[in-house]
């Protein structure tokens, strides 16, 4: 066979490249170089090459795209990608057309089309009818290549960008923290751009990379070596919220229903927009381990229409987040029905606080919202004080009967049937029980709680299926297994021993949680005690079974605000479409390893996370280690969650993020995502406070900030290792010190001798489970001025209610005649200045003047005046704008009102000095002194 050098069209020369072990083709007139053999193309020779714009909508082809085997081989090379040859640095002749260098996976302008035409002479255009532009096999996707290249950039820079020498779109700007006060608007900006090398993505889709609300990395450009990462001092990690709720306007997750699931044979990665098709499109190369895999036979078949389908329209090649309907080989057993077992505390405290009445009414009102589309959902109810009260709910019967078990040392089920019943079939009996339960125990004077035995009974009832236990408890467990003692000791608060109060007091709950996890049982805790309840110990159950803890201190349903908050949150939890029997694994490109896991789950093997149920809007943080030098131009991180929907369908949700690699320290700093870093450090701080001491956790957060600033100063500023009057950081991280100061002042790890251990333990639950969207306001609250907000604020705009501009978190912005709103996602404070004019008080509270206004928990009246309606709209939007079930309380805080309430509200203004905690300016000065090496 003749060599390629002998088959060239006029004007081309071939040169053997020793490094790549293949021919390099040079166009003698222009100096243009390419790896693939040139072929004359009658259609495109007379047309100047131009970049193909991303198609406005996917074009549905009617048959599998055909490749000439030899041409694709020439295009992609052999099964291993050759390293770039010396011609990458070749300078083109002046005025030469843009060089089209070969990048693996990328078809240059018109090149692939040329090959196709040459391979199929006389073939009709693939799309049927003449098209002005070919759709390339691997055109640059959204956010890569073309969108970031301003016109007229010289050709040499383009070559360098393809070689990953300079990352376009990542420009480093330095800010002096001493001269730039925190701007809350910065936190609403998207993370730094992900600038992938050209040709890394198969698709033009803007959704080819997972949205940051599903998965975000602390760095959007991955260092090529561990030493480079160490130099930056930025922690590398992934923040994942696999099941976030879809708000209005959110893109739904595409569902692949044909059960054709292409996975890598070696590393089990799911096919995604970052693989490469080789061998005429019959095989694909894995983007993680470079293994060559066969394309499944039915991959190009449209099973709905029963005809050849369009490969390029498949969701998994266009979307970073996709869900597959799983075939039977992904099932250990058939999908189980959703099961809810309610454990309701009916001791004296629970009845008197109104918890039982509120809970039963909420269940009754939400029976239709509990996921039950296929009428398979099962429910059971167990009431407990120092005995267990079971309820027999026979199908079709209108009444229920109660069975009491007083022997709590050896728990047994009093009846084999009718305790765990079908929600639809036993609906009349369930409704009857819910309407009567509070009255049945109205005169119950029993004090004490057999929570442990009640949990064991629920487990016995449902262990063969799995499901969710909803615990509603209003007192400290005191009898039977898992009994706890009041260990609250004011003398320990604020000392080095305080962290012992945040660790579980009894091994029962962790051991029981692991049993639950094995049997696919998840536990949610709703805690209501007016006294000490040991949240730290009880939160173990949700922590290891992938549930959630909700805490309502001093709950009293006679305050309508308390009843409304609990009813709203409990109702949302009941209505939530949960994912059952889930396992999650995160895969990453070669030389990246998942090294530590944070969140509510049980680590079953080295990297398999077991979650009996996955609630929506629960977040997980994973630390990543760079084990060896990375040579690839980009890396891929892929999270896969195998689960059963509550409607009985086995599914796999796959979330894929591709990130460029860099050996340039400035790119590492320019790509840092301050929100993801703060989220990861919050998780790490809580873990450290439990394994070490609270003081160690605070020191670790402060020292990490010092390390990052020192690294930036040494490598990115003129001061280098010397002292500097400035405190420099990259523009994209300038809110990180404010976020970390907020974290240090958060109830979860704040230095204080006044915080009850239950409140601290609950705050730590929130810090480790809230997704970034909800966590950031929790550590860096929002602060608005309402009395002088622009007239459009509080009215409906294009994107819903228009909110005021957030203010910096300092009391310098409070005015004595003003009305302000401070909120952290869990609580809303309405601050009223002492000189507020009577008209303002009348318009908002319907009261004649400031003196008669009472502070405390309240519900704001909706009055017949525009200002009242706008203020109510802002509060309503505040309660609804974030994902999650939380319904924050509203407190009216008078400037000269009760000191505890004032101090609580002012503690949200984290830029002020408070108690022993520094102001933002003092914090920055401490950081600068540390960075400059002097003690303070």
pLDDT tens for 749-758 read: 988 888 888 8
Show the CA angle centred on residue 51, arms to residues 46 and 52, nearest 5°.
100
- List pLDDT tens digits, range 765-816: 999 999 888 999 999 999 999 999 998 998 988 888 899 999 999 998 889 9
- List pLDDT tens digits, range 440-474: 998 888 888 899 999 999 999 998 998 999 999 99
pTM of the model: 0.80
- List pLDDT tens digits, range 890-924: 999 999 888 889 999 999 999 988 878 899 999 99
**Rounded average pLDDT over 573-594:** 91
- The closest alpha carbon to 26, from 115, 67, 94, 86, belongs to 86
| pLDDT confidence tier of residue 92, bands split at 50, 70 and 90 | very low
Question: Which residues are CB-neighbours of 900 under 8 A, at least 6 positions away?
Answer: none
What is the model's pLDDT at position 23? 73
What is the model's pLDDT at position 4? 54
What is the model's pLDDT at position 874? 93
- List pLDDT tens digits, range 717-732: 776 666 677 888 898 9
Burial 24-59, CB ≥16 within 10 A → b, else e: bbbbeeeebbbbbbbbebeebeeeeeebbebeeebe
First to last CA, the chain: 78
What is the model's pLDDT at position 484? 87
Q: Which of 228-237, 346-355, 616-625, 912-921 has the lowest mean pLDDT?
A: 912-921
Handedness of CA 334, 215, 883, 902 (dihedral sign): positive
What is the model's pLDDT at position 146? 36
Tell me 95's DSSP state: T
- List pLDDT tens digits, range 563-581: 999 999 999 999 998 888 8
**Rounded average pLDDT over 26-32:** 70
- List pLDDT tens digits, range 244-259: 888 777 888 999 888 8
Does residue 863 contact residue 843 with C-beta atoms inside 8 Å?
yes
DSSP track, 773-826 = HHHHHHHS-EEEE-TT--TTTTSEETTEEPPPPPPPS-GGG--TT-EEEEE-SS
Q: Which of 125-134, 172-181, 262-271 has the lowest mean pLDDT?
A: 125-134
Mean pLDDT of the chain: 81
| pLDDT confidence tier of residue 13, bands split at 50, 70 and 90 | confident
- List pLDDT tens digits, range 380-431: 999 999 999 999 998 888 888 899 988 888 888 888 888 999 999 999 999 9
What is the model's pLDDT at position 151? 36
Task: Classify residue 683 by burial, with Cβ atoms within 10 Å: 0-12, 13-18, 19+.
Answer: buried
- List pLDDT tens digits, range 135-173: 222 333 333 333 333 333 344 444 444 444 444 557 888
Burial 111-143, CB ≥16 within 10 A → b, else e: bbbbbbbbbeeeeeebeeeeeeebbbbbbbbbb
């Amino acid at each position: 066979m003749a060599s390629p050098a002998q088959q060239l069209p006029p004007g081309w020369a071939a040169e053997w490249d020793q490094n790549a072990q293949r021919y390099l083709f040079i166009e003698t007139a222009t100096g243009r170089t390419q790896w693939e053999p040139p072929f004359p193309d009658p259609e495109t020779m007379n047309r100047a090459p131009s970049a193909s714009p991303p198609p406005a909508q996917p074009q549905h082809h009617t048959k599998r795209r055909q490749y000439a085997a030899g041409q694709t081989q020439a295009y992609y090379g052999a099964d291993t990608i050759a390293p770039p040859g010396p011609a990458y640095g070749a300078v083109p002749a002046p005025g030469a057309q843009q060089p089209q260098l070969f990048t693996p996976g990328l078809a240059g302008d018109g090149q692939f089309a040329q090959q196709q035409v040459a391979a199929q002479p006389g073939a009709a255009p693939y799309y049927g009818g003449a098209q002005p532009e070919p759709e390339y096999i691997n055109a640059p996707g959204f956010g890569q290549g073309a969108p970031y290249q301003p016109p007229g950039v010289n050709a040499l820079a383009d070559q360098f960008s393809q070689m990953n020498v300079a990352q376009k779109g990542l420009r480093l700007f330095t800010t002096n923290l001493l001269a730039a006060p925190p701007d809350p608007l910065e936190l609403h900006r998207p993370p730094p751009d992900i600038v992938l090398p050209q040709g890394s993505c198969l698709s033009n889709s803007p959704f080819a990379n997972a949205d940051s609300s599903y998965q975000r990395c602390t760095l959007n450009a991955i260092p090529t070596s561990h030493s480079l990462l160490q130099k930056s001092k930025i922690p590398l990690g992934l923040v994942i919220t696999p099941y976030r709720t879809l708000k209005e306007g959110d893109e739904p997750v595409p569902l692949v229903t044909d059960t054709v699931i292409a996975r890598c044979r070696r590393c089990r990665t799911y096919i995604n927009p970052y693989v490469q098709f080789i061998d005429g499109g019959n095989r694909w190369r894995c983007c993680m381990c470079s293994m060559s895999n066969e394309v499944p036979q039915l991959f190009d078949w449209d099973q709905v229409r029963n005809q050849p389908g369009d490969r390029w329209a498949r969701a998994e090649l266009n979307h970073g987040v996709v869900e597959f309907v799983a075939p039977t080989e992904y099932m250990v057993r058939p999908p189980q029905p959703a099961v809810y077992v309610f454990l309701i505390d009916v001791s004296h405290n629970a009845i008197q606080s109104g918890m039982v009445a509120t809970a039963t009414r909420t269940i009754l009102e939400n029976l239709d919202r509990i996921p039950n589309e296929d009428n398979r959902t099962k429910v059971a109810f167990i009431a407990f004080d120092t005995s267990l009260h079971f309820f027999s709910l026979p199908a079709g019967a209108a009444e229920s009967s109660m069975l009491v078990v007083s022997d709590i040392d050896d728990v047994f089920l009093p009846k084999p049937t009718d305790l765990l019943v079908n929600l639809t079939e036993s609906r009349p009996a369930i409704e009857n029980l819910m309407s009567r339960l509070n009255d049945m125990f109205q005169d119950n004077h029993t004090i004490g709680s057999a929570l442990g035995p009640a949990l064991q009974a629920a487990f016995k009832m449902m262990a063969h299926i799995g499901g969710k236990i909803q615990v509603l408890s209003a007192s400290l467990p005191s009898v039977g297994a898992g009994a706890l003692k009041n260990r609250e000791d004011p003398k320990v608060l604020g000392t080095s021993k305080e962290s012992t109060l945040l660790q579980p007091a009894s091994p029962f709950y962790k051991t029981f949680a692991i049993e639950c996890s094995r049997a696919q049982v998840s536990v949610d805790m709703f805690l209501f005690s007016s006294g000490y309840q040991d949240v730290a110990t009880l939160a173990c159950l949700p922590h290891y079974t992938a549930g959630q803890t909700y805490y309502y201190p001093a709950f009293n349903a006679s305050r309508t605000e308390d009843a409304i908050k609990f009813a709203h949150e409990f109702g949302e939890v009941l209505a939530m479409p949960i994912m059952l029997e889930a396992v999650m694994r995160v895969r990453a490109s070669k030389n990246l390893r998942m090294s530590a896991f944070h969140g509510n789950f049980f680590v079953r093997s080295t990297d398999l996370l077991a979650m009996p149920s996955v609630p929506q809007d629960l977040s997980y943080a994973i630390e990543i280690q760079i084990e060896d030098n990375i040579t690839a131009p980009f890396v891929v991180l892929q999270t896969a969650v195998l689960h059963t929907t509550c409607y009985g369908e086995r599914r796999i949700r796959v979330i894929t993020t591709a990130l460029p690699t860099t050996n340039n320290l400035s790119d590492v700093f320019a790509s840092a995502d301050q929100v993801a870093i703060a989220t990861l450090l919050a998780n790490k701080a809580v873990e450290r406070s439990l394994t070490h001491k609270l003081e160690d956790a605070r020191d670790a957060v402060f020292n990490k900030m010092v390390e990052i600033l020192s690294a930036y100063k040494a490598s990115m500023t003129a001061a280098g290792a010397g002292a500097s009057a400035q405190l420099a950081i990259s523009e994209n991280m300038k809110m990180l010190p404010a976020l970390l100061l907020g974290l240090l002042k958060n109830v979860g790890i704040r230095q204080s001798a006044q915080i009850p251990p239950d409140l601290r333990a609950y705050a730590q639950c929130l810090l480790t489970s809230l997704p970034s969207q909800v966590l950031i306001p929790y550590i860096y609250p929002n602060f608005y001025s309402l009395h002088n907000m622009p007239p459009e604020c509080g009215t409906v705009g294009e994107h819903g209610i228009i909110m005021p501009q957030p203010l910096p978190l300092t009391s310098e912005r409070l005015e004595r005649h003003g009305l302000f709103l401070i909120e952290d996602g869990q609580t809303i404070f309405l601050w009223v200045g002492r000189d507020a004019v009577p008209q303002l008080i009348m318009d908002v509270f319907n009261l004649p003047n400031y003196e008669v206004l009472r502070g405390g928990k309240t519900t704001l009246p909706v009055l017949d005046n525009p200002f009242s309606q706008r203020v109510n709209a802002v509060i309503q939007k505040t309660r609804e704008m974030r994902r999650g079930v939380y319904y924050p309380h509203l407190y009216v805080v008078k400037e000269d009102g009760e000191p505890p309430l004032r101090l609580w509200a002012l503690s949200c203004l984290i830029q002020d000095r408070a108690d022993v905690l520094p102001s933002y300016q003092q914090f920055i000065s401490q950081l600068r002194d540390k960075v400059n090496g002097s003690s303070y």
